[in-house]
Amino acid sequence: MKKKSFIVGGIVTVVIILIAVLCFIVFRNNNKYCSVIPQDACVVLRVDAKSFIEKHDIDTKYLESILKLANVSSLYDAGINFDEPAYAFAQPSGVIGVVVPVNDGDKLENLLNYTSTFVGSKVKSHQGYRWLETSDIVIAFDDTRLLALSGAGMNSRGKILELMEQEADESVLSTKLFSDLSSLDKPLAMVTSTSMLPESLTKMMPVLDGSDLKNLDLNALVSLDIVKDKALLEVEVKANNDESQALLDKNAAMCHKINGAFLSSGLNDALVWASFNIDGSQLTSVLPSDISKDINLSSINGDVTVMYKDKGNEFVLLAQVADKSILNIVQTLTDVSGGQLQAMKLNDSKYVFNIASNAYFAGVNGKTFYLTNSSELSNNIDRDVVTGVEFLKDEITDSYAFATLNVSPLVTSQLSGQYALMFGTYATKLLSLDRFTLVAKSPYRYQMTLSVKDGQDFVETMLQ
């Protein structure tokens, strides 16, 4: 009995090992062509063209008619393996690359040689690979992958050969950046790491406590999909170490879900409407000290909403506050402006001040702070209006921040006369656009949506 159990156990163990080895081989082969992506890539983009084309039933006849000029019968007979996604990447040094899976090197060479009429260069063999070089780009490929690089000041052939020869554990495949990218299941996906971004860029993007993003280690996961009448871009921020997570948590502690206090306040039919909910006392604690010592925002304790209406250039900011202490900001700004801002106190709850000859009104009405350039609105701040976002109420009040731009009237007003002629047939596509929205589903996850009118199909509308 023991012998039989031992044999069964041994067989099970061998089977498990074989399955593990098989999975490893399959995984390794599926990603082998990606091993040319450098380990220090700060941005990696994945494009699953076949999935996108099939999902949205995109007609490829126009593209295939062009390919036939190069004696390519169809999109899937060009030597490119559309069963696997293509990748693009960028390095902090400025080098940009594209990686494409290949299933037939000869067919791909035929296609690239057809381009020689336009680029003035033909495919040549060198050190075991086929090459195509122009003044701006160098391409190397074999029967499994193509790598194209572009970047000023690099040793093109030396760099591309180094990447083509490197092992998987020397590439981006061994990084969390790539594993995060693999977790996204949309046809178009991208991951960028703040720790690898150039210092010149990160210095322009300070976080709330004044830290440089270069000192953080965050990955931003971005994916794009199209769902019926809208294009949906999703962004998620993930921390790669405890220090970065602690900062994200500290900033997230300020945020709460929007309560919808100003869904029917402010301006009628606002062109732009944006709102978030914040704890002002915690906001003050994370602001840089040179700002927080002059400006006290601790009385803010709820929704903050900004609206803009293009007709009359009307603007209003509304905030839920605990008391009138928020008005101290007006006096503080007057003191630090060096005479550029002149404020006059109208009563205990209202100020008027001028900036560049324009009058602005700031005050507190009950538990609402307002800042507006409309004298009429400042005298009737609690009036009920139709802001134009009421139909989005459920989505707004289920988010931590929400912004929407009513694209339709903006495009309609601009695409007239000479602008219509300038855009030509594209004017019709632009006139189909309806609304752009930005939603913070959590302090770490965001969605951006661009929709078209009347439930039209987004892809069909944009490609027709």
Predicted confidence at residue 3, as pLDDT, reads: 44
Q: How far apart are CA 219 and CA 192, in angstroms?
A: 6
Q: How far apart are CA 385 and CA 376, in angstroms?
A: 13
At position 259, the amino acid (one-letter code) is: N
Q: Is the pLDDT of residue 411 over 70?
A: yes
Q: Is the pLDDT of residue 420 over 70?
A: no
Q: Is the pLDDT of residue 304 over 60?
A: yes
Q: What are the E-state strand segments in 36-160? A: 43-47, 86-90, 96-101, 124-126, 129-133, 138-141, 145-150
At position 412, the amino acid (one-letter code) is: T
Predicted confidence at residue 38, as pLDDT, reads: 93
pLDDT single digits (tens) 226-268: 888 889 999 999 998 888 888 888 878 888 999 999 999 888 8
Per-domain boundaries in the chain = 30-173, 255-405
Q: How confident is the model at residue 29 (pLDDT cuts 50, 70, 90)?
A: very low
The mean per-residue pLDDT over the stretch 417-437 comes to 75
Predicted confidence at residue 441, as pLDDT, reads: 92
CA distances from 123 to 200, 270, 409 (A): 37, 57, 51
CA distances from 221 to 76, 184, 192 (A): 30, 8, 7
Q: How confident is the model at residue 171 (pLDDT cuts 50, 70, 90)?
A: very high
Q: How confident is the model at residue 8 (pLDDT cuts 50, 70, 90)?
A: very low
Q: Which residues of 257-278 are buried (b: 16+ CB within 10 A; e: fewer)?
A: bbebbbbebbbeebbbbbbbbb
Predicted confidence at residue 274, as pLDDT, reads: 95
Predicted confidence at residue 44, as pLDDT, reads: 95
> Which runs of consecutive H residues, i.e. helices, occur in 298-401?
328-336, 375-378, 393-396
Domain 30-173 has CATH 3.30.460: no
Residue with tokens 């929205």: 437
